[in-house]
Every structure is written in C-alpha cells, then in structure tokens.
Amino acid sequence: MLMRMIPPRDGYGKALLRLCAEDSRIVVLDADVAKSTRTIWVKEQFPASFIDMGVSEQDMIGTAAGLAMTGMIPYASTYSAFLTGRAYDQIRSAVCHDNLNVKMAGAHAGFSVGPEGAIHQSLEDVAMMRVLPNMAVVVPCDALQVEKAVYAIRDVPGPCFVRFGREAAPVVTDADTPFEPGVARLIRDGGDVAIFANGIMVYEAIKAGEMLAVRGYTALIADIHTVKPLDAAFILSAAEKTGAVVTAEEHQKSGGLGGAVAELLSENAPAPVMRVGTDDIYGESGSPEDLMRKYGLTAEQIVASALAAMAMKRRG
C-alpha cells in the first residue's frame, strides 16, 4: 500500500493559520526556528500575531506566561528537546504551577531530526511534561491529527504540550477522522492483545496488527494520542478484554505512554504490559528510518512484544 506522506510540522503551521485568522487572542512565539516549525507561515500572513524571541527558550516561556495572564493564548514553539529541557523550570513554575493557558509545541520530536544527532532528539519530553501538575500532553499520530489537535487545544483551558515530528510521515487518518482531546481512538478491535500507540508508532502498530492477523491473532489497536489526561476507562476496558498489553511510542520506555499505561493497569487491572520504545539510551546521527530500525521502534518489535505479552498471559 502506498502511503500518503506529510511532515507533521505542516499540520502545526496550518492549524496556527486557522487560529490566527479567527481568534485575536492567539500569539505565536518561536525561538529562532520559525522556518523549521512552520511558524514562519504565521509570520508571513499574520505578522501582528507573531513574535520571534530569538535563541531564548526560557524567556519565550516566561513571556508566554505573561501573555496568558492578560487573557491571550500563546503558542510557544521550538524543538521539543530545547523547549522541554532548557525551559523546564519556566514551564514548571511560571506556567503549570499557575495553571496558565499556555500552549507549547515540541517540534522535531523523537528521531525525526535524525541527522542532527542525539542532543536534538527528544526522547524524554513526554515523561518530563507528563509529571507536571495541570499539564495536558498530546502526541498526535500524523500531520492531519497534529492540525486537529493544535486547533482543539485552544478550547481546553490550561497548559498543554503537543509534540510532533519533522520528516514526512505516513498519514494514517483522514479529514473526517474524529479527534477529541483525552478520548482514545479505536483503530481496530481484537481480543488477543491490546496495542496502545501514539505518534508515528501508530503506523507501526497498524502494520503489526496485520502481521499478527497472519499468525492468527486478533489485536485491538488504539491511538492513545492524549497521554495526559489518559483515557483510563478505555484502556482498562481494552486491557481487561484482551489480558495482554503492548505500548509503542517514539520515546524512552520509561515515563511516557508505556509508563502511564503500566501505572494505570498495575493499580486497577494488572495485566502483562510490554513496552516498545528506546531503552534508556541516547540516539545518534542517522536517517529517522535507520534510527527507528536500530533502536527497535518497528512493527516487528511490536509483534515480538505482543507474542511475549500473550505468552505471559497464558502462563497466568
């Protein structure tokens, strides 16, 4: 099957143009990477709604906090690694502590910025953002969902972090696919194993579902785009139905989607959980595809994890 490929960051730029056209409260901030994050489109078409803060991530977040205090809705944008790492204290104490209505976009997330090397690759951002009180965390699966998510969070009061990739990536939804923050999206029903994925790993999970079907297993596949607040009812019901769970994300195994699902299940409905993600390790330079393969972010790895989870279930 030939997939349609669109850079997820294009979805960010498109949503911002729509928001700026209809809402005078929107202010888009960037930290000197406007071309990369596509906020340059806002700069060109709505210059009054755009501020380039220069190479100053901490100052950008503080400024966004001040704007939010006056009723504006700032979208602060830069590479996810620098947004969440460099400005962590500002996000924690100036934004989340006061539950301010600041939207934060982590672009070039995961391995999508591959050739730049490990420092640019954000594989810890979801964990760091998820632990902050008041913060919502959304990891959309393709460019269309990025666009819908960035638009939708305007109407969800409070801080929100959205992360997405740089390179053209498979489009696995269409214009009519619904998106609601905090509501998991069932892609395929099944009874043997539940696969919870987000971001670019949704595409790999769909492929894994087909590979498992060939082996005679039916996999329930869901897009858990909102890591916080987690759709607990959906996840618990899917885990109870299948009794075996796999999570898949372009992120460290700890602290992200895998961590959130494991925490929820261990307290409410214990079931074997196998996590697909990077394993407590930094990346390196390389194409995103090569990095995904080398570090185990593949459909094959999801299949292997599903088989392991089902074996654990059988052992009881």
Partner 1 sequence: MAGLYFTGIFKCSPEYPDAPGRDRFIMSKGHGVPALYSILSRLGFFGREHLKSLRKIDSLLQGHPRYGATPGIDFSAGSLGQGLSVANGIALGYRRQGLQGRVYCLMGDGELQEGQIWEAALTTAQLGLHQVCAIIDNNHVQLDGSTASIKKMEPIADKWRSFGWHVIGAQGHDLDDVQRAYRAAMAEMRRPSVIIAETIKGKGVSFMENNCEWHSNAPTREELELALTEIREERSDPAAKMGVAVHHGLRLKERA
Nearer to partner 1, 42 or 246 (CB): 42
Distance of CA 243 to the CA centre of its chain: 25
Question: What b-and-e string marks burial along 169-200, b requiring 16 or more CB atoms within 10 Å of the CB?
Answer: bbbbbeeeeebebeebbebeebebbbbbbbbb
69 lines the binding site for partner 1 (CB under 8 A): yes
Query: Least separation, in Å, of the C-beta of 156 and partner 1?
Result: 19
Identify which range of 68-76, 147-155, 239-247, 291-299 contacts partner 1 by CB under 8 A.
68-76
One of 72, 232, 236, 264 touching partner 1 (CB under 8 A): 72
- Three-class secondary structure assignment of 122-170: ECCHHHHHHCCCCCEEECCCCHHHHHHHHHHHHHCCCCEEEECCCCCEE
Query: Least separation, in Å, of the C-beta of 29 and partner 1?
Result: 9
Between residue 48 and residue 67, which ones bind partner 1 under the rule CB under 8 A?
A: 48, 51, 53-54, 56, 58-59, 61-67
Nearer to partner 1, 56 or 237 (CB): 56
Longest dimension (CA), the chain: 62
Q: Is 300 a catalytic residue?
A: no
Query: Least separation, in Å, of the C-beta of 62 and partner 1?
Result: 3
What is the size of the binding site for partner 1 (CB under 8 A)? 30
Between residue 98 and residue 137, which ones bind partner 1 under the rule CB under 8 A?
A: 98-99
Query: Least separation, in Å, of the C-beta of 19 and partner 1?
Result: 15
97 lines the binding site for partner 1 (CB under 8 A): yes
34 lines the binding site for partner 1 (CB under 8 A): no
Nearer to partner 1, 61 or 302 (CB): 61
Q: Which of 44, 57, 250, 267 is catalytic?
A: 57
Between residue 217 and residue 276, which ones bind partner 1 under the rule CB under 8 A?
A: none
Query: Least separation, in Å, of the C-beta of 58 and partner 1?
Result: 4
Q: Which amino acid is at 152?
A: A
The residues annotated with a catalytic role in the active site are 57
